[in-house]
Amino acid sequence: MTERLGHYLLGDVIGVGSFATVYRATDERLDDEVVVKVLAENHSLNPEIRERFIGEGRSLRRVEGSHVVTIYDIGESDRQQPYLVLEHADRGTVRERVAALRRSGWRASREDILAFARPLAAAVDAVHRAQLVHRDLSPGNMLLSTKPSELIGDEASNLHSWVVRSDERLLIADLGMCKDLAMNSGLTVSGGTAGFRPPEQDSPGVVDTRADIYAISAVLNWLAQDADLPGGAHKVIRRGLSAKPQRRQPNASAWLGELEDALAPPEPPPGTEPTPEISQEASLPTRGGLLRRRSVVVLTLCAFVAGALLGGFVLGQWLSAGQNQPVAQAQGISIGIQGPEEVTVGESAVFTAEVPGLDSWVWTLPSGRNLADEPDVTLTPTAPGTAEIILRARLPDGQDLEARHTVRVRE
């Protein structure tokens, strides 16, 4: 039997928590997909929990920002269960996205970190401007929606990221634990998600906006796991994770400013010739399967890239390898890369993985970025230079296979 709440037709359950159930739903009046969050029946008669649930809707209404989930409506069922009608984030949570990426061997890049941190800082700043402290910022409460960011210029859309893609918007949700600083001194009960909550939330006490600075630093630390980032970036994260709030960055804008300074590319030495650039088109596995997605990013190639890739960059299982020397053929199985050895600037070239008899393999592209199980990749050079593409696989007995292909780009 189809269930309705007002003019909202409830569909699949997409989330169940201790206090509420979340449904995908259709607004029958506007013919639009939304999310309906319904307080559990056993909690609906508890005045404190009921008020907190309704307060979440009021808090969302107060926040003015494009990176916080929008609330459309609030109502009550025939069983006296209050419900919130919210914006539908159709691409899941950051936690789900990163878990899928890591299964393919991905590690966060500078672009991934910045494309995530910028909208996150904008969202947290919007919450704080509304005189609220979120108190439960974690990857599971950060959503992805098919709606490009409104951040302009280098702040968002021209950064190539596998975490928050160019056609997506990062949203923070679940303000059920937020604290209204305009109504009290900040005294609050303990709470928050383990691993991301600040020390001052481990027990009842006083919190202010710097509690959220700790949480977003913890999220960034989680995202940057195994990432090759400048030492300054890790220093920014450590400051945000200070046990004493007064040692953290004072607000989200300052936090982001320090991070951007730390991740800024180094200035080339005087007299250095411009390095060649190459545009890359490729795809990665996404939530729900290997969906083809074409995207473009400009990657800088330095003369030492090929040599650095020879001994330094290995993915997933290859991190613990080194006992055997990779070869292109073993036990009657071989791998190779089919593609041109020379291209001109602006000419797209397709490189195909020759992997008969293998179920899994990994590309290492000239930037150091890795792609798992893709049959081909497309490169479009924008300046002359030389680059190397590497293809790796592993046999059941642990033998590594490796093929390399050098591409020369001419004017």
The stretch 121-134 carries a mean pLDDT of 94
Distance CA 331, CA 376 (A): 24
pLDDT given at position 273: 52
223 pLDDT exceeds 60?
yes
Q: What letter does residue 285 receive in the DSSP assignment? A: -
Return the HEC string of 83-124. EEEECCCCCCEHHHHHHHHHHCCCCCCHHHHHHHHHHHHHHH
Tell me: pLDDT of 367 over 80: no
User: What pLDDT score does 275 carry?
Assistant: 47
Q: What's the confidence (pLDDT) of residue 207?
A: 87
In the structure, what pLDDT confidence band is assigned to residue 141 with cuts at 50, 70 and 90? Answer: very high
pTM of the entire predicted model: 0.65
* pLDDT confidence bin for 397, thresholds 50/70/90: confident
* pLDDT surpasses 90 at 140: yes
244 is in an annotated binding site: no
For residue 135, give Cα distances in angstroms to 50, 180, 191, 196: 19, 11, 8, 10
Reference 383, options 277, 296, 299; nearest CA is: 277
Kindly tell me the sign of the dihedral angle through the C-alpha atoms of 371, 377, 382, 386: positive
Domain boundaries, the chain: 4-86, 94-263, 277-410
pLDDT at 254 > cutoff 80: yes
Q: Using DSSP bridges, classify how beta strands 169-172 and 349-354 pair: parallel, antiparallel or unpaired.
A: unpaired
**CATH assignment of 94-263, given 3.50.50.60, 1.20.1050.10, 1.10.357.10, 1.10.510.10?**
1.10.510.10
pLDDT digits (tens, 9 = 90+) for 268-299: 666 655 444 444 433 333 333 333 333 333 33
**What DSSP designation does 327 have?**
B
Find the mean pLDDT for residues 262-266: 84
Q: Give the per-residue pLDDT at 202.
A: 82
> What torsion do the CA atoms of 201, 206, 209, 213 make, to the nearest 10 degrees?
-30
pLDDT at residue 387 in the model = 82
Average pLDDT over residues 122-140: 94
Distance CA 199, CA 187 (A): 14
Q: Is the per-residue pLDDT at 184 higher than 60?
A: no
- Grouping H, G, I as helix, E, B as strand and the rest as coil, residue 370 is strand
Q: Is 136 a catalytic residue?
A: yes
Decide: 362 and 103 in contact? Cβ < 8 Å.
Answer: no
Distance (Å, rounded) from C-alpha 297 to C-alpha 309?
A: 19
User: Is 211 a residue whose pLDDT tops 90?
Assistant: yes
Determine the average pLDDT of the residues in 235-253.
96
Q: Where are the alpha helices (DSSP H) in 275-380?
A: 305-312
What are the tokens at 86? Answer: 């919210």
Annotated active-site residue in 112, 136, 174, 400 = 136
Query: Averaged over 227-238, what is the pLDDT?
Result: 94
CATH of domain 4-86: 3.30.200.20
The β-bridge relationship of strands 187-188 and 205-206 is antiparallel
Question: Which residues sit opposite 169 in a β-bridge?
Answer: 145
CB 373 within 8 A of CB 106: no
Whether 142 contacts 196, CB under 8 Å: no
Residue 17: the pLDDT is: 79
Residue 309 has pLDDT above 90, yes or no: no
Task: Output the six-digit token pair for 85.
Answer: 């009608």
pLDDT at 276: 47
Q: Does residue 214 register a pLDDT over 70? A: yes
pLDDT in tens, 318-363: 434 444 556 888 878 889 999 998 888 878 888 899 988 887 888 8
Q: Which of 104-113, 244-253, 298-307, 324-333 has the lowest mean pLDDT?
A: 298-307
Q: Which residues pair with 353 in a beta bridge?
A: 337
Homologous superfamily of the 277-410 domain (CATH): Immunoglobulins (2.60.40.10)
pLDDT per residue as tens digits for the range 75-110: 999 999 999 999 999 999 999 999 999 998 899 999
- What pLDDT is attached to residue 362? 86
